[in-house]
Each structure stands twice: as structure tokens, then as C-alpha cells.
């Protein structure tokens, strides 16, 4: 058994909330530079240059790259040899509160979806917990903006609709969203499981490194084919027309019922902000 101190959790969450919002990840920056090289639309090129310049300013000046500093999503993996004697969810939320206050980040969470009163400290975070082996805690902290989250959806297809049904749904969703989710986007696709599992798969998919590939051969092919098709839609950077609509498509799969084909599409904007750490 290894004891992990509450202060370490609070401080780590605070630090990662701020870092995620200020410092664009290297893989995203590289993907944006590739897009700029490949874009043929002059407006699209101009938009991509502004995004890259923006992300460099944010990093150099230690300011948020986007004003929508998002709702905090935490993927928490706890080793079965870890000992904690406090409420870890409270500790995480304390870290979020400190991060959003000390980092001058925007507080974008309301306490109730219908009365819409701001909680003023960006809590609570949305936390997904998993038990793993070992004596460590893995934390993935993401700041997710609403512009791209709002363009996401879950749909229960029939097995007969198959891969064509999945592709059509993704293409329609991306095309109809146009500039709203701030393209170039990352498309996370969750296939299988149940209604709620597919949504989680899609969210896990957008958290993957931008350059990796699915280990599953069917998913891997779908990632490649969909990326090609999406970039033929003409939507382009910020929807002003162009060839660079998506940076990547990530497909995560899970077994499902003989009668179901759950499909979840989670859209991630170019301001893809997440940080991972092992404690």
C-alpha cells in the first residue's frame, strides 16, 4: 500500500488546469503546422496562421489560448495498491477551484442546467474513475469548451445500417456543424457498448495523442477513410472554406448487443487542451 497525500492531488489538478489552458500540446501544434502546409484556401491559410500565432502568444505570455476555458473533465485511474483516506473527488474540485482562480481562467459552469446560476469557481468537474493495478494514480485533465461539445451527439443505429450508416452520420454531423466547433477539429467516434458507454468511448477517443492509430484494424481503416472524406467537405478552418476541416479522426470500439450499433460522435476543437500525469 502506498499512501498518496491529499495536497498532492489538489496541487497537481490546479497546475494541470492552468497548464492545459496556457500551453498547447506539441502534437496539436505539429498537426496545425501540417494543416497550414496542406491548406489551399488563402482564407484558410490565414485562419490557420492566426491560430498558430495565437497559441504561441498564449504559451509565451502565460495566458489562456481560448476564452472558453471549458468545463474540467478528469479521467482518474486509481491503482489498487493506493491508500487514500479522504474524499478524492473533493480534492479534485478544490484543485479545479484553485486553478481557475489563480490562473485567471473563465468560470463557465452553472449549478443547474435550467436555472443557470454560475457556480463562480468552475466546479464541479466531470470525473470518470477507473480501478487499475499498481500503486499509482493516473490523472488526465481536460478543459473542454462548449463550442465543439455542443456539436456532439449519440445515436443508436441498427446493425443493418453498418459502416455506411456510421460514415454518413459522421459526415453529416461535421458538415452541418460547419464553423461552429472551431475547425480544424478532432473527431472522436465511440462505436459499440451501450448508449452511455459509446459516449465515454468517444470522449476517450478525442483524448488520444493526435498521431496514434487504433490497434483495431477496422477502426484504423475507418479513421483514415473518414479523415479523407471529412477533408473533402470544403468546410475548412473556422468554416470559412478550405481543405483542412479535421486534424484527425479517432475511433474507439467496444463489444455490443446483437441488436445494437451505438454511435457517439464527440467533437474537439483545435484548442485541444489536456494534460496527463502519473502520481
Partner 1 sequence: MKITTPLTDETIAKLKAGDKVLITGTIYTARDAAHLRLVNLINENKALPFDIKNQIIYYVGPTPAKPGQVIGSAGPTTSYRMDPYAPTLLKHGLRGMIGKGDRNQTVKDAIKKYKAVYFGAVGGAAALISKSIKKVELIAYEDLGAEAIRKLEVVDFPALVVNDIYGNDLIIDNIKKYKVDDKNE
Residues 174-233 that bind ligand SF4 (CB under 6 A): 181-182
Helix (H) or strand (E) holding 43: helix 42-61
Work out which of 64, 95, 99, 193 binds partner 1, going by CB under 8 A.
64
Pair 188, 206: CB distance under 8 Å: yes
Peptide bond between residue 117 and the one before it cis (omega within 30 degrees of 0): no
d(CA 61, CA 124) in angstroms, rounded, equals 28
Place of cell 477513410: 225
Contacts of 11 (CB under 8 A, 6+ apart): 95
In the region spanning residues 206 to 245, those forming contacts with partner 1, defined by CB under 8 A, are 232-236, 238-243
**Phi, psi for residue 278 in degrees, rounded to 5:** -115, 130
> From the list partner 1, ligand SF4, none, which binds 242 (C-beta under 5 to 8 Å, kind-based)?
partner 1
Closest alpha carbon to 27 in 270, 279, 278, 277: 270
Per the listing, cell 502565460 goes with 62
Extended strands (E) in 1-110: 2-3, 71-79, 82-83
DSSP3 helix / strand / coil % (the chain, rounded to 5): 40, 25, 35
> Nearest distance from residue 99's CB to partner 1, in Å?
13
The stretch near ligand SF4 (CB under 6 A) out of 42-50, 142-150, 163-171, 198-206 is 142-150
Distance, CA of 256 to CA of 1 (rounded, Å):
36
Taking Cα atoms as reference points, which of 156, 164, 134, 276 lies closest to residue 229? 164
Look at residue 47 and give the partner it binds from ligand SF4, partner 1, none, a contact being a CB closer than 5 to 8 Å depending on partner kind. Answer: partner 1
Nearest position to ligand SF4, beta carbon = 145
Find the binding residues for ligand SF4 in span 63-102 (CB under 6 A).
66, 68
Q: Which stretch binds ligand SF4 (CB under 6 A): 11-19, 82-90, 145-153, 255-263?
A: 145-153
> Cβ of residue 148: shortest distance to ligand SF4, in angstroms?
4
Q: Give yes or no for residue 107 binding partner 1 (CB under 8 A).
A: yes
CB of 216 to ligand SF4, least distance (A): 28
Question: Please, what is the minimum distance in Å from the beta carbon of residue 108 to partner 1?
Answer: 7
Which residues of the shown chain bind ligand SF4 in the complex (CB under 6 A)? 66, 68, 145, 147-148, 181-182, 269-271
Which residues of the shown chain bind partner 1 in the complex (CB under 8 A)? 40-41, 43-44, 46-47, 50-51, 53-55, 57-58, 61, 63-69, 104-108, 116, 118, 120, 146-147, 150, 178-182, 232-236, 238-243, 269-271
Amino acid at each position: 500500500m502506498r499512501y498518496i497525500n491529499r495536497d498532492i492531488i489538489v496541487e497537481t489538478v490546479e497546475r494541470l488546469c492552468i497548464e492545459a489552458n496556457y500551453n498547447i500540446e506539441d502534437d496539436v501544434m505539429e498537426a496545425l503546422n501540417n494543416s497550414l502546409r496542406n491548406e489551399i484556401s488563402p482564407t484558410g491559410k490565414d485562419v490557420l496562421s492566426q491560430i498558430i500565432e495565437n497559441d504561441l502568444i498564449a504559451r509565451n505570455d502565460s495566458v489562456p489560448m481560448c476564452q472558453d476555458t471549458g468545463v474540467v473533465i478528469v479521467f482518474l485511474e486509481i491503482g489498487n495498491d493506493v491508500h487514500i483516506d479522504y474524499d478524492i473527488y473533493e480534492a479534485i474540485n478544490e484543485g479545479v477551484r484553485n486553478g481557475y482562480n489563480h490562473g485567471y481562467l473563465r468560470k463557465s459552469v452553472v449549478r443547474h442546467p435550467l436555472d443557470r446560476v454560475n457556480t463562480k469557481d468552475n466546479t464541479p468537474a466531470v470525473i470518470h474513475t477507473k480501478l487499475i493495478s499498481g500503486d499509482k494514480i493516473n490523472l488526465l485533465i481536460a478543459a473542454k469548451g462548449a463550442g465543439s461539445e455542443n456539436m456532439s451527439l449519440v445515436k443508436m443505429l441498427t446493425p443493418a445500417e453498418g459502416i455506411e450508416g456510421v460514415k454518413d452520420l459522421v459526415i453529416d454531423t461535421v458538415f452541418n456543424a460547419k464553423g461552429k466547433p472551431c475547425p480544424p477539429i478532432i473527431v472522436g467516434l465511440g462505436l459499440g457498448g451501450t448508449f452511455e458507454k459509446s459516449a465515454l468511448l468517444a470522449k476517450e477517443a478525442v483524448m488520444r495523442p493526435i498521431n496514434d492509430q487504433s490497434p483495431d484494424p477496422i477502426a484504423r481503416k475507418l479513421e483514415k477513410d473518414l479523415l479523407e472524406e471529412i477533408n473533402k467537405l470544403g468546410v475548412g478552418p473556422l468554416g470559412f472554406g478550405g481543405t483542412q476541416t479535421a486534424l484527425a479522426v479517432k475511433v474507439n470500439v467496444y463489444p455490443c448487443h446483437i441488436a445494437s450499433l451505438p454511435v457517439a460522435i464527440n467533437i474537439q476543437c483545435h484548442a485541444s487542451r489536456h494534460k496527463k500525469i502519473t502520481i
